[in-house]
A and B are shown apart, each in its own frame.
Chain A
Amino acid sequence: NAGVTQTPKFQVLKTGQSMTLQCAQDMNHEYMSWYRQDPGMGLRLIHYSVGAGITDQGEVPNGYNVSRSTTEDFPLRLLSAAPSQTSVYFCASSYGQGWSEQYFGPGTRLTVT
Chain B
Amino acid sequence: AQKITQTQPGMFVQEKEAVTLDCTYDTSDQSYGLFWYKQPSSGEMIFLIYQGSYDEQNATEGRYSLNFQKARKSANLVISASQLGDSAMYFCASTRGTSYGKLTFGQGTILTVHP
A33 within 8 Å of B (CB atoms)? yes
State whether B108 touches A106 (Cβ < 8 A).
Answer: no
B85 within 8 Å of A (CB atoms)? no
Partner of B98, one of A48, A99, A103, A106: A99
Contacts of A90 in B (CB 8 A): 45
Residue of A nearest to B33 (CB): A99
State whether A102 touches B103 (Cβ < 8 A).
Answer: yes
Q: Known contacts A101-B47, A106-B43: does B100 contact A31 (CB below 8 Å)?
A: yes
| Chain A CB within 10 A, most for which of B95, B103, B105, B106 | B103
A92 to B102, CA, bound (A): 10
Q: Known contacts A99-B52, A101-B35, A102-B47: does B107 contact A94 (CB below 8 Å)?
A: no
Q: Known contacts A99-B50, A99-B52: does B104 contact A45 (CB below 8 Å)?
A: yes
Contacts of B108 in A (CB 8 A): 42
Contacts of A24 in B (CB 8 A): none
A33 to B50, CA, bound (A): 18
Shortest distance in angstroms between A44's beta carbon and chain B's nearest beta carbon? 7
Q: Known contacts A40-B107, A42-B91, A43-B105: does B100 contact A99 (CB below 8 Å)?
A: yes
State whether A32 touches B101 (Cβ < 8 A).
Answer: yes
State whether B50 touches A48 (Cβ < 8 A).
Answer: no
State whether B105 touches A42 (Cβ < 8 A).
Answer: yes
Residue of B nearest to A29 (CB): B101
Q: Known contacts A90-B45, A99-B50, A101-B35: does B104 contact A41 (CB below 8 Å)?
A: no
Q: Known contacts A106-B44, A107-B44: does B101 contact A94 (CB below 8 Å)?
A: yes
The 6 closest A-B pairs by CB, nearest first: A31-B101, A104-B45, A42-B105, A101-B47, A43-B105, A42-B107
Residues of B participating in the A interface, judged by any CB pair closer than 8 Å: 4, 33, 35, 43-45, 47, 50, 52, 91, 93, 95, 98, 100-108
